Amino acid sequence: MEPGAWGNKTVVTEFILLGLTENIELQSILFAIFLFAYVITVGGNLSILAAIFVEPKLHTPMYYFLGNLSLLDIGCITVTIPPMLACLLTHQCRVPYAACISQLFFFHLLAGVDCHLLTAMAYDRYLAICQPLTYSIRMSRDVQGALVAVCCSISFINALTHTVAVSVLDFCGPNVVNHFYCDLPPLFQLSCSSIHLNGQLLFVGATFMGVVPMVFISVSYAHVAAAVLRIRSAEGRKKAFSTCGSHLTVVCIFYGTGFFSYMRLGSVSASDKDKGIGILNTVISPMLNPLIYSLRNPDVQGALKRLLTGKRPPE
């Protein structure tokens, strides 16, 4: 910290992240664990992207959205984990103010697109199962691109709003963040100015980025369930539900951890629980997504096998 334009106040020029533990021996173990998790996550999502790219059978709207989801998962984990690995390696974590604000922006941008992309995927399943005759028209390439663009635009506005609102707060000491990456609640705790507006923006943001998408997903799957139950054959019902199982699993993991993190607006104090939830959000969820989609989807399994063995896809 250094004296600045705030008179006798000191202006924070960097934040010190406490990370997951101060035990140096444990830090070395955590470095190996999170490096392995990062490599597995990036490798798994790149494998999904490669499978979608080379397998003609996967050139459908559902896998177009899945490919975008894999890109987002790579982005989300890259925003948080490599800086944390650098901190674990050097046993200290001093983050410049601008770098902290940038990390906050990109994390909320990518996670926000994730929220709405999962909603677009639910809409895709609704059209495929409930409106099969008009599916190809209603989910054309132009529509797919437009949906992704809308997801990015909404998330950009949300992330920029939070970033600007945080950047105008006064941070005049202390500057120790009880977390392993820069996020809204732990930064609120360090501000020496009012965070009332920020709390309101966080509530509104959580509504538009969490509650509204979850309502759309629930409505979509209510229609899907009703349509599937009208199918007379058990095999037909199983086939219809199988295309939704992976997506529903990812939704439950993503929104389960996200809601617990950002809807607890009664308290902005940081704690070890928040770090555990942060690990779920930034590491476990992106790492599980390719596993979930590959284990539950025979088309993806076949594409991955052909990719690894070098065989050409069937004509």
pLDDT digits (tens, 9 = 90+) for 143-173: 999 999 999 999 999 999 999 999 999 888 7
Q: How confident is the model at residue 273 (pLDDT cuts 50, 70, 90)?
A: low
Contacts of 253 (CB under 8 A, 6+ apart): 280, 284, 285, 288
Residue 260 confidence (pLDDT): 62
Q: pTM above 0.85?
A: yes
Mean of the pLDDT values across residues 277-295?
79
Hey, what domains does the chain have and what are their CATH numbers? 14-309 (1.20.1070.10)
CA 146, 150, 156, 157 dihedral sign is positive
Phi, psi of 183 (to 5 degrees): -140, 170
Q: How confident is the model at residue 313 (pLDDT cuts 50, 70, 90)?
A: low
- For residue 5, pLDDT beyond 50: no
pLDDT digits (tens, 9 = 90+) for 82-98: 999 999 988 888 999 99
CB 139 within 8 A of CB 234: no
Q: What residues pair up with 14 in beta bridges, in sequence order? A: 96
pLDDT digits (tens, 9 = 90+) for 28-54: 899 999 999 999 999 999 988 988 888
Of 134, 144, 121, 109, the closest CA to residue 216 belongs to 121
- For residue 118, pLDDT beyond 50: yes
